[in-house]
Amino acid sequence: MFEGFTLTDAEGDGVRLRVRHGGGGPPVLLLHGHPRTHATWHRVAPLLAAAGYHVVCPDLRGYGQSAKPPTDAGHRPYSKRAMARDCLALMRGLGHERFAVAGHDRGAYVATRLALDHPRAVRSLTVLDAVPIGETLRRCDAGFASSWWHWFFLGQTEKPAERVIDADPDAWYGGDPARMGAEAYRDYHRAIHDPATVHAMCEDYRAGLGVDRDHDEADRRAGRRVACPVQVLWATGDDLPELYGDVVGVWRDWAGDLLAGGPIDSGHHMAEEAPRELAGALRAFWRALPDQSSMSR
């Protein structure tokens, strides 16, 4: 898994991150979703490295084997703003002042916050199976609450979800070694059986319902948008079109004019299920960037 890549610890914004990186050329940062680790990219990252990119895949704070800092009443240590600062520090530590970022699921929210908070650092943004947190909650209806009820379950504090999940993580999260890849599955399995990781992942959702929404709404009121080109991809086997209709259209208020997107023929975990199609879509987007001379390989 990740042949030719380096596995190491690196500094985020005052926390330790586990990170795997490899290849040479323009830097790209890949951010996983819940409940995965960076290993979810193990089929995509080598394709991008072989195409001439320096590919960086961290475990987000709280996930996998990255640090799990103590939380607070506002869940701020698990805000997407805090995770975005981790990513910025990580990339600067690797010598990259500007880079492309792609995020899936919860990682898409971190990638979006990174682009909003640090526009000079982010060359382009790709979001996979996501619309902004603030947009999601603003549009929340019975259909979303029925399909995505886990947002509200994991976000509870009075009757925390950790007790339910820790009782039988395999029943709660599932996972298929044949589909994920044996090594990636082992990495994920280790993570979901760690109560500290389960707690941190719940904190991610608690932050999403509070402080993350506040940050998105503040940006909306201020008219702040993502300044870089944005690519929006969604899995045909997921429910974003059913929930939102024109998925790219949802992003227009957030992304400005340089916006592209389309479906990937896959289930939700597209990096595992459709790696070649996903890698191809990423490369095509990067090659078409206005500053393509420094991103095309």
Domain limits for position 31: 6-294
- Read off the pLDDT band of 89 (50, 70, 90): very high
Contact 116, 219 (CB under 8 A): yes
Q: Is 105 a catalytic residue?
A: yes
pLDDT tens-digit series, residues 41-55: 999 999 999 999 999
Q: What is the pLDDT of residues 194-239, one digit of tens each?
A: 999 999 999 999 999 999 999 999 999 999 999 999 999 999 999 9
pLDDT number for residue 270: 97
CATH number at 46 reads 3.40.50.1820
The DSSP result for 210-263, as a single string, is THHHHHHHHHHHHT----S-EEEEEETTSSHHHHHSSHHHHHHHHH-S-EEEEE
Alpha carbons 37 and 44: distance in angstroms, whole number: 14
Q: Is the four-CA dihedral 128, 131, 134, 139 of positive or negative sign?
A: negative
Residue 1 lies in a domain: no
Give domain status of residue 193, yes or no: yes
| Catalytic status, residue 199 | no
In a domain? residue 252 = yes
Tell how strand 6-11 and strand 16-22 pair up.
antiparallel
**pTM across the whole model:** 0.96
Pick the catalytic residue: 105, 129, 216, 219?
A: 105
Query: Number of structural domains, the chain?
Result: 1
pLDDT at 294 (0 to 100): 46
- The tokens of 206 are what? 């608690």
In a domain, 248, yes or no: yes
CB 104 within 8 A of CB 31: yes
Of 276, 259, 297, 294, which Cα lies nearest the Cα of 98? 294
Does a structural domain hold residue 41? yes
**At residue 297, does pLDDT exceed 50?**
no
Inside any domain, residue 239: yes
Each residue of 114-127: pLDDT tens digit? 999 999 999 999 99
Select which of 117, 118, 189, 268 is catalytic: 268
**Per the domain annotation, does 200 fall within a domain?**
yes
Residue 205 CA to residue 12 CA, distance in Å, equals: 20
In a domain, 12, yes or no: yes
pLDDT class for 191, splitting at 50, 70, 90?
very high
Which of 157, 168, 136, 175 has its CA nearest to residue 36? 175
State pLDDT tens for residues 116-167.
999 999 999 999 999 999 999 999 999 999 999 999 999 999 889 999 999 9
Identify the sign of the CA torsion 241, 246, 258, 204. Answer: negative
Residue length, the chain? 297
User: CA-to-CA distance for 232 and 52, rounded, in angstroms?
Assistant: 23
Pair 110, 84: CB distance under 8 Å: yes
Average pLDDT of the chain is: 95
